[in-house]
Amino acid sequence: MKSLVLASGNPGKKAELEQLLAPFGTRVITQVELGISEAEEPHDSFLENALAKARHVCFATRLPALADDSGLCVDALGGAPGVQAAFYAGSEGNRTERDARNNRKLLTELAPYADRSAHYECVLVLMRGPGDTQPLVAQAQWHGAIARLPRGHGGFGYDSLFLPQGLTQTAAELAPTEKNRLSHRGQALAKLFELLQQESA
C-alpha cells in the first residue's frame, strides 16, 4: 500500500504510524492535511468509533483509510477515561492543553485509590476503499500502572503517567522505537500486517 489516509488529526499518532510503516514505504496522510473534518465519535466502544472514523475518511477521499481509536482504561476508575480519554477533562484548548488537563484530572480522580493498574487499548480499522464491506480489524492492549507524578517528554496523551508493566520508565521516557515495539498501537499494527499478509498469501 503506497499511501493511506489516517483518520485523525493527532500529530502524535501520525508520527508513531509513520515510524511503524517506514519499512514498508507507506506514506501516511492525515485527514486534516486533506481538509476533512473529524468524524463524530458517539459510540461506547473503541471498535464502533474506529469503524465510524474509517468509513468517514474513506468515503470522503476514496482512498484506503486507517482509523485508530484508542484510550487509557484505569481499573480503579471502572475503565475510565476509556473512549473519552482525549476529552476526559473537556474539549477546550489545543491538544497540548487538553493533555495537561486530562493528566491532572486523572491524578486527582485516582488519588484515593491504592490500585493504580491500567492499560492502553487500541483498535485499528483499515478500509481498503469505499466499497470495502469487510474492513480489517486489529486490537491490542498495553498493560501497566499509573505513576504518581508525570515523567518524560516523549509521546503524547497520558504517556508521562503510564508505567508499562515490567519497566521503571514511563511511556514518555522510552525511545520512540522502543515505545513503538511495545505499545498498544505497535502491537495492533503488527496484527494488522499479519492479516494483510494472510490475504495476499
How many beta carbons lie within 10 A of that of residue 120, not counting itself? 24
Which secondary-structure segment (H or E) carries 101? helix 95-110
Averaged confidence pLDDT in the chain: 91
Is 69 annotated in the active site?
A: yes
Q: Which CATH architecture has domain 3-200?
A: Alpha-Beta Complex (3.90)
What predicted TM-score, i.e. pTM, was given to this entire model? 0.88
Domain coordinates in residue numbering, the chain: 3-200
- Per the DSSP assignment, residues forming a β-bridge with 125 are 67, 137
pLDDT tens-place string over residues 48-98? 999 999 999 999 999 899 998 999 999 999 999 999 999 999 989 998 999
Is the separation of the CB atoms in 83 and 72 below 8 Å?
A: no
Q: Which of 69, 75, 99, 159 is catalytic?
A: 69
- Per-residue model confidence as pLDDT tens digits over 10-38: 787 888 888 878 777 888 898 988 888 88
Annotate 182-196 with b (16+ C-beta within 10 A) or e (fewer).
Answer: bbbbbbbbebbbeeb
Nearest CA-CA partner of 128 in 201, 76, 186, 67: 67
Q: In the prediction, which pLDDT does 201 show? A: 62
Please, which residues have CB within 8 angstroms of residue 33's CB and are 6 or more apart in sequence? none
- The pLDDT assigned to 134 comes to 92
